[in-house]
Amino acid sequence: MAKKTTGREFGKFAREQLLRKFESTWGNYKQLAGISLFKFSNGIKCLTLYSSLNNDRWFYGVSGKYWENWDEKTYMVLLLGNGSKCYYVILNPKESQDLLRRIQPAKDKQKKINIRIPSLGNDYIQEWQDFPLTQRVISLGTIETESGSLKLKINKHKSNLDFDKLMKTFQNLPESKRKAIIEELQKEIS
């Protein structure tokens, strides 16, 4: 009988696959703290949080050691496990800080994030209900067990292909053009 994969193993594997995907855009990465915080060679840091769907919601805890020291180069990635499928949502540093500011710390100093699936309507972040969650969810793929080990099957959804194409196009632009685009986006976000 094959050993059942635990949620922790599934989350670790999903995180590794996500980091490999970002590596092509942001460069090599190294683990900074715990199992969740990573830094890429371009200076971007990424807090990756995994949750399995449980009673129509995903929930995450952001430790005080992270949210108390958040900076302008740290992105938050919420990994959403749902059976064998895995999705993710990226929040840029400003969005991450906005979300964390909306949440009071619990007794354990964690800030709890809840993503809910209502019986009618769209999924939403409970602590930031007007965040455009459904438009920002990206499929990582399907995680399957093959011969006792985990394997990622990439789902070639149009949104994944569009994002990959957009990132490659952006990378190929001259640095001055990339900076101009980033400055324009920052104005729009502010």
Both 108 and 165 in a single domain? Answer: no
* Average pLDDT value over all residues in the chain: 84
Q: Which range of residues forms the domain containing residue 176?
A: 156-190
Do residue 99 and residue 185 come from a single domain?
no
The sign of the torsion formed by the CA atoms of 22, 113, 93, 185 equals positive
Q: What is the pLDDT of residue 163?
A: 56
Per-residue pLDDT tens digits for 18-48: 998 899 889 999 999 788 999 999 999 999 9
Same domain, 144 and 67: yes
Same-domain pairing of 39 and 84: yes
Tell whether 110 and 49 lie within a shared domain.
yes
Q: What is the CATH number of the domain that holds 89?
A: 3.40.1350
- For residue 180, the 8-state DSSP code is H
Q: Is residue 1 part of a domain?
A: no
Q: Quick one: 92 and 181 in the same domain?
A: no
Residue 138 forms part of a structural domain = yes
Whether residues 99 and 130 fall in one domain: yes
The model's pLDDT over 109-138, given as tens digits with 9 standing for 90+, comes to: 999 999 998 878 789 999 999 999 989 999
User: Between the ranges 5-9, 98-102, 175-179, where is the mean pLDDT highest?
Assistant: 98-102
* 66 and 33 housed in the same domain: yes
Q: What is the pLDDT of residue 158?
A: 46
What confidence tens digit (pLDDT) does each residue in 75-110 have?
Answer: 999 999 988 888 999 999 999 999 999 999 999 999
Q: Do residue 149 and residue 163 come from a single domain?
A: no
Q: Are residues 63 and 146 in the same domain?
A: yes
Picking from 79, 25, 76, 75, the residue whose alpha carbon sits closest to that of residue 50 is 79
Regarding whether 63 and 21 lie in a shared domain, the answer is: yes
The two structure tokens encoding residue 143 = 């995680």
Q: How far apart, in whole angstroms, are the C-alpha atoms of residue 42 and residue 10? A: 28
Distances (CA, A) of 64 to 67, 72, 77, 79, 108: 5, 17, 17, 20, 9
Give yes or no: residues 102 and 33 share one domain.
yes
- Does a structural domain hold residue 92? yes
